[in-house]
Amino acid sequence: QADALPRTTELKQALWTAASGLLDRARAAGAVRADVTAADLVPLMCGIAYATQVHGGDPAERAGTARRYLTMLLEGLTGQESRSAR
């Protein structure tokens, strides 16, 4: 399926490349579950961005919501509770 906007394809590729590199390093360090892939991470991150916008509020509230959602995502990826949530 082709992207509606020409630059979208380029941006998606850059996001996938960055996510893959980060996950490779995180896996090597034992900081993330071995079964997590960029195919998992990219849609989840896009979902957080979208959900934060739908949630509404002012920019500070949306930033707080994004941090909360990201914390939940990261805890799921590592299988451990983050230090900030303790």
* Segment 35-59, tens digit of pLDDT: 889 999 888 888 998 999 898 899 9
pLDDT of residue 78 exceeding 90, the answer is no
pLDDT of residue 4 exceeding 90, the answer is no
Q: Give a yes or no: residue 78 inside a domain.
A: yes
Q: What pTM did the predictor assign?
A: 0.67
Buried b (16+ CB within 10 A) or exposed e, 2-37: eeeeeeeeeeeeeeeeebeeebeebeeeeebeeebe
Nearest to 63 by CA among 76, 72, 53: 53
Q: Burial level of 52, CB count in 10 A (0-12/13-18/19+)?
A: buried
Domain count, the chain: 1
Q: Give a yes or no: residue 74 inside a domain.
A: yes
Q: Give a yes or no: residue 10 inside a domain.
A: yes
Domain that holds residue 50: 6-85
In whole angstroms, what is the distance from residue 27 CA to residue 7 CA?
Answer: 30
